[in-house]
Structure 1
Amino acid sequence: MLKGVYLQRAGRAAWIALACALLVTPVHAQKRPQAVSRPQAAVIPSDPDEAFTALREAARKNDVERAYAISATLVDYPVPSYVEYFRIKPQLFDASGLARIDAPDDQVRVFLQRYKGDAIADRMRNDWLLVLGKKRDWANFDVEYPQFALKDDTQVECYALLSRALKGQNVAADARNVLSDPRYYGEGCVDLIGYLAQSQQIQRSDVAYQARLALEQNYVTLAGKIAALVPDARADGDTLATIVKMARSDPSQAAAYLGTAQGALSRDEQGAAWGVIGQFAARKLLPDAAGYYRRQMDLGGNQWLSDDTQEWRVRAALRQGDWKQVRQAVELMRPELRAKDPAWIYWYGRALKADGRDTEAQQNFQQIAGQFNFYGQLASEELGNRITLPARTTVSDAEAMAMRSRPGFQRAQKFYNMNLRFEGNREWNWELRNMSDRELLAAAEYARRLELLDRTVNSADRTRNEHDFTLRFLMPYRDIMQRATDDVGLDMAWVYGLIRQESRFIMNARSSAGAHGLMQVMPATAKYVARKIGMNDFSPSMMGDPNINILLGTNYLNMVLTDLDSSWTLASAAYNAGPGRPKAWRSTLVRPVEGAIFAETIPFNETRGYVKNVLSNATYYAALMSGRPQSLKSRLGMVAPSAVTTTSLP
């Protein structure tokens, strides 16, 4: 029997329930869920849309009784599939999100047949597969899994591999590819690791690596559960675990500790330890990071290094300007990781070029130069080309309006009208699957006519051979934008590039932190800017007006740009992470670096992607507006070292 079946976010054991799974009789299809005693029943809204929203919330909390009560009032609701889904789903999971072994299988089967082919059916199948995997109902799991279209749930993939392993198949190689991000492991992946270790398909070193991978991402409880799958693994891994924890806060202290403790570690463990220390030093932009990585490479190169550790090995070398180490670091990358991100193809090409291997460098650049992204643009420039727009394909009115008959788009519109964007996007994106380029452009044009501008961009972004960049890079509110950017002397292409990344032109967009509108201005920032420009009648409710939102957003962006030496790279980072952070990152430089290197070595994942996307967007917007070829490299510029200075900007 497997050990330690846990979901990392849960704080209690689940193994006893799992052991009893095969003894439980399924709940019959139409049996009403048993009432749960509650102090006072919550009122069910009389408005159907409000009741539906309340049902959705009850389903999110897996509140079986309330979901049942609300769904009973929505007999003729326009999207019955979601009413039924939200009624059944709480019966599949408990309040902590763990799959239940007494789920109503018969109700799920009826639902899947009734809504076969719909997005919500795939969502239900995803949920049911988690239940079937947990209770080891492999007969039904193996029937349902091939019908799961999206296959975007790591835990389901783990159960699928476990099913195969239990039939005697060797799945170790596939498991290593699936088990790359502990955030998504859940119960199924811990089960898989345990069984593969027990059946000797993987070794102790695999288990130790998975525990360390969880620890690197600060999933301490999960790391302990994985380590416990192999007897005495915890004791053997104490030294390495201590180094990982220490490196997170103080890499130099971890390096000193490793110097005294490395006699207790194997050669591979020493290499792994230096790699982890290098990763956290690189994330802190410490100059010692490249040196730690050199020590790791001297021990053999790849001792079970996480993807993060491998990527930061390249970034540390880029920061130091050590092109030889950049080349070696990319060559040592896991092949699947190296091929997944055009960044590593580009930087490998640059390292080859620095080594005088121009022909090989050009071959690397040619691999990605046709991609419409940050590194595709940079690779194109390395080949001597400027950034231009592809030929435009236009669709007819008839093609665009034919999209209104698509059921998924109809359901999406209903959800968007209720401001339920998650469900709306699910339905819209489901309809886009398997569309031709021309159909995608028709869907994008249809969305534009409905003023669903984020769906316009999303749909047009998916084309492969036929394109319409006027749909990919929309320019709504252009008169307002022209006035606002002219008044403060900002490049309008850059501002549009930023808005496209911030809100996708959703006027009522709100972030979890409270940022509002097109330019996602924080409330405190809006008040600050309004006061600075003399807007004495400002109130937060005015941020829903595109005139005010763009006015305050562009004024703040101009303040940030001025504060950061007119660098679009630094100012873009500041708009996302706050103006103090890019100043601190810049202060760690020992020499001027290309803007692309600065962007690639930003410590925050979100900000790193944000800066790349904003400046890539801006380059295409400039090409659209001017009708002339553009240079992303020129926009990125150079970033020079400077002392950390304080800023009064929020």
Structure 2
Amino acid sequence: MFSSKIIAVAVLAGSCSLSFAAAQEPLPAPAPAAAPSLPDTRADDDAFLLLREAARQDDAVAAATYAARLPNYPIPSYVDYYRLKPRIRDASADEIRAFLAKWQGSAIADRMRNDWLLELGRNRDWANFDQQLPLFVLNDDLQVKCYALMSRAVKGERVAADARALLQNPPNYGEACAALVATLAQSGQFDTNDLLAQLRLAGEQHATGPAKRTAALLGESETHAAQAVDFPALAMARGVGASRAEHEIYLVAIGRMARTSLNLAAIGLNKNASKLSPTELATGWANIALAASMALSPEAGGYWKKSAGAPLSQDQLQWKTRIALREGDWKTVRATIESMPPQLRSDPTWTYWMARAMAAEGSREAAQALYTRIADQNSFYGQLAMEELGQQVAIPPPGAPLTAAEIAPMSANPGLRRALKFFSLRLRFEGTREWNWELRKFSERELLAAAEFARQNEILDRMVNTSERTRTEFDYTQRFPSPHNDILQPTTQNLGLDRAWVYGLIRQESRFVTDARSGVGASGLMQVMPSTGQYVARKIGLTDFVYSMLSDLRTNILLGANYMNMVLANADGSQPLASAAYNAGPGRARTWRATLSGPMEGAIFAESIPYPETRAYVKNVLSNATNYAALFERKPQSLKARLGVVTPNGARANQLP
């Protein structure tokens, strides 16, 4: 089930601003009911969906044809957008400005401005780019940010420090960030050390294109760089080379080989150790240490010791810390967190573990101060920090009940009504973008009212997301809803399953979107994979099972809950381990458990799960479950107790495949 959790509902367009006046984009007046009707025909909806697809395919002719069929569609801004988007490279600046003026302040205008900024950057039209950039509300596009730095650089501004902080993810660089690196190298703002760091990142993140481009900037063979990333054995066989860049390419190959064979990588590095500088040798060991860490190899700690003096990437710093946690080496935990960049160091994850390291060394007051910094965050590490301060997870008292007068404006809000229309068309990305755009200027009470409006319209993922934004007033029935309890509670009771854990998992899996589908075919409330559904159905005697039954709510809950029960039994009752198995598969969870040499604190086990998706998943599920338990039982709960310890275990006869 690994990677099956990238569901459409999880795609958030970001928060944006409330601004569309109803007069700009007229919609029918809202009915008194919670779900206002929008008069349009099925034929119009079909034409709109075809228009959207034509725009996605950059088919300007088809887009114009479908748009012409929709002169009175209830969402005219999107008709205009999808008509214009395929022509953005050929459209005049005046035409694009006319669109932006017509729909000024809207989510789709900000989307168009994003598109135009990318086009202006590609054309190096810095005059128009610089004029439009301050008007880009979200400013959440990596490519746009790279073009922004490039625009400043070509004017002679010093932007190297900002670029170093930004350029951390080579697989997502695209033309903009690649051009930024080249511009900085050619202008002298990036020196050889900067380019070598980019080459290391490209190798670490398996980004062949950026590796080739960086090698070319260093005056080295693009082919050799590509081989180091994709065919490390060939690159290692070629040898170390003479220049610093050739050495770095060899070290990239060492790191890539370590993903397949730690032993062969170590042999290759030792063989050529005399040809490398001390820093280069340490870098080679850091590359091997990263691979060993992600494999949870018992040798990882030793490799990290050999890497002393190496320039470490952010990923390497985090994995060095995780391995130190697994080994109980609090001195290294503290030292490594202290060497992280400030933004990474201030993340709640590393704030919490720094506090734990300080406490382990006897600096209790400093530790308490760090716990206090994050204890008000209702998240995995915020809850753990709260417990370190002597408190348990409890449900805060609700504010004053919402009135009908407070909810009524939500029904009249044009952006929220557009969102409802998109949700009715199963266009969750667009619906979420419109919904979030309207939340930016809402007060706490308005956020709660919008969440309640979402509940009334059975859009529970928006209810949860909206309610989570409040900081002073709370409604945990919105944040942690328990729909379909008439089905779920008897099922969990029959299985002896913790209902809070089941709801915590569903909240993470689908945000209660009953028709959610993942990119790999997982379906429904509990995101059950077809193969898993078939396996569980056979085990519980559901003889008439067919894959289409996964979309049936009762069947989805029945199969999902039974599968949770199976993975929990195989995990000897450990919810962290069972949650990992539900997400990544029992085989992977079994492999991770097999690396344990003794009992391990559940929080450390969760933090050192090799897959980023599963690591976040387990933490979120257990945090959710703790909140649900507090809500159901009406008393404070301990996340630490729920995490418990994860113990090693040998092979079992009833292990799941």
TM-score of the pair, normalised by structure 2: 0.87
Contact 1:580 1:646 in 2 (8 A): no
* Correspondence 1:170 to 2:176: no
Task: Determine the structure 1 residue equivalent to 2:505.
Answer: 498
Q: Which amino acid aligns with 1:70?
A: Y
Per-residue Cα deviation, 1:469-490 (whole angstroms, up to 9, x for no partner): 1110011111211111101000
Aligned partner of 2:249 among 235, 238, 241? 238
Q: Which amino acid aligns with 1:218?
A: H
Contact 2:410 2:416 in 1 (8 A): yes
Distance 1:313 1:336 in 2: 18
CA RMSD of aligned residues (A): 1.8
Write the mapping of 1:46-65 to structure 2, written as runs, cut at 5 A: 47-65=43-61
Q: Which amino acid aligns with 1:287?
A: P
Distance 1:636 1:177 in 2: 35
Q: CA deviation at 1:67?
A: 2.0
Task: Determine the structure 2 residue equivalent to 1:369.
Answer: 375
* Correspondence 1:404 to 2:408: no
Aligned partner of 2:362 among 356, 367, 389? 356
Contact 1:197 1:230 in 2 (8 A): no
Aligned partner of 2:87 among 87, 91, 111? 91
Q: Which amino acid aligns with 1:478?
A: N
Aligned partner of 2:143 among 142, 155, 161? 155
Task: Determine the structure 2 residue equivalent to 1:277.
Answer: 288
Contact 1:91 1:104 in 2 (8 A): no
Aligned partner of 1:390 among 396, 400, 409? 396
Q: Which amino acid aligns with 1:444?
A: A
Q: Which amino acid aligns with 2:335?
A: Q
Contact 1:323 1:354 in 2 (8 A): yes
Q: Which amino acid aligns with 2:172?
A: Y
Q: Which moved more, 1:626-635 or 1:160-169?
A: 160-169
Structure 1 spans left out of the alignment, 5+ residues: 1-44, 93-99
Task: Determine the structure 1 residue equivalent to 2:627.
Answer: 620
Task: Determine the structure 2 residue equivalent to 1:15.
Answer: none
Q: CA deviation at 1:103?
A: 4.7
Per-residue Cα deviation, 1:109-153 (whole angstroms, up to 9, x for no partner): 111111111101111111100110111111100010001011111
Q: Which moved more, 1:424-433 or 1:360-369?
A: 360-369
Task: Determine the structure 2 residue equivalent to 1:81.
Answer: 77
Equivalent position SS for 1:237: helix
Q: CA deviation at 1:236?
A: 5.0
Distance 1:488 1:82 in 2: 48
Task: Determine the structure 2 residue equivalent to 1:27.
Answer: none
Aligned partner of 2:462 among 455, 463, 478? 455
Q: CA deviation at 1:263?
A: 3.6
Task: Determine the structure 2 residue equivalent to 1:432.
Answer: 439
Q: CA deviation at 1:645?
A: 5.0
Task: Determine the structure 2 residue equivalent to 1:69.
Answer: 65
Per-residue Cα deviation, 1:554-591 (whole angstroms, up to 9, x for no partner): 11111111121011111111110111111110101112
How many pairs were matched up?
593
Task: Determine the structure 1 residue equivalent to 2:234.
Answer: none
* Correspondence 1:135 to 2:123: yes
Task: Determine the structure 2 residue equivalent to 1:544.
Answer: 551
Per-residue Cα deviation, 1:361-392 (whole angstroms, up to 9, x for no partner): 21221111111000000111111111112221
Distance 1:60 1:214 in 2: 29
Q: Which amino acid aligns with 2:566?
A: M
Contact 1:583 1:645 in 2 (8 A): no
Write the mapping of 1:180-219 to structure 2, written as runs, cut at 5 A: 180-219=168-207
Q: CA deviation at 1:46?
A: 8.7
Q: CA deviation at 1:225?
A: 1.0
Task: Determine the structure 1 residue equivalent to 2:568.
Answer: 561
RCO higher in structure (CA 8 A, sep ≥6): 2
Aligned partner of 1:286 among 297, 306, 312? 297
* Correspondence 1:630 to 2:637: yes
Task: Determine the structure 1 residue equivalent to 2:266.
Answer: 255
Distance 1:296 1:467 in 2: 48
Task: Determine the structure 1 residue equivalent to 2:614.
Answer: 607
TM-score of the pair, normalised by structure 1: 0.88
Contact 1:493 1:621 in 2 (8 A): yes
Contact 1:595 1:637 in 2 (8 A): yes
Q: Which amino acid aligns with 2:368?
A: Q
Extract structure 1 runs of 4+ deviating beyond 6 A: none
Structure 2 spans left out of the alignment, 5+ residues: 1-40, 221-243
Q: CA deviation at 1:534?
A: 2.4
Q: Which amino acid aligns with 2:307?
A: Q
Distance 2:652 2:245 in 1: 45
Q: Which amino acid aligns with 1:185?
A: Y
Contact 1:287 1:320 in 2 (8 A): no
Q: CA deviation at 1:74?
A: 2.1
Q: CA deviation at 1:164?
A: 1.0
Distance 2:650 2:515 in 1: 39
Q: CA deviation at 1:518?
A: 0.8
Distance 1:354 1:252 in 2: 34
Task: Determine the structure 1 residue equivalent to 2:4.
Answer: none
Distance 2:91 2:254 in 1: 43
Distance 2:489 2:201 in 1: 49
Write the mapping of 1:313-352 to structure 2, written as runs, cut at 5 A: 313-339=320-346, 341-352=347-358
Q: Which amino acid aligns with 1:258?
A: L
Distance 1:234 1:89 in 2: 42
Contact 2:146 2:180 in 1 (8 A): yes
Distance 1:77 1:116 in 2: 19
Equivalent position SS for 1:227: helix
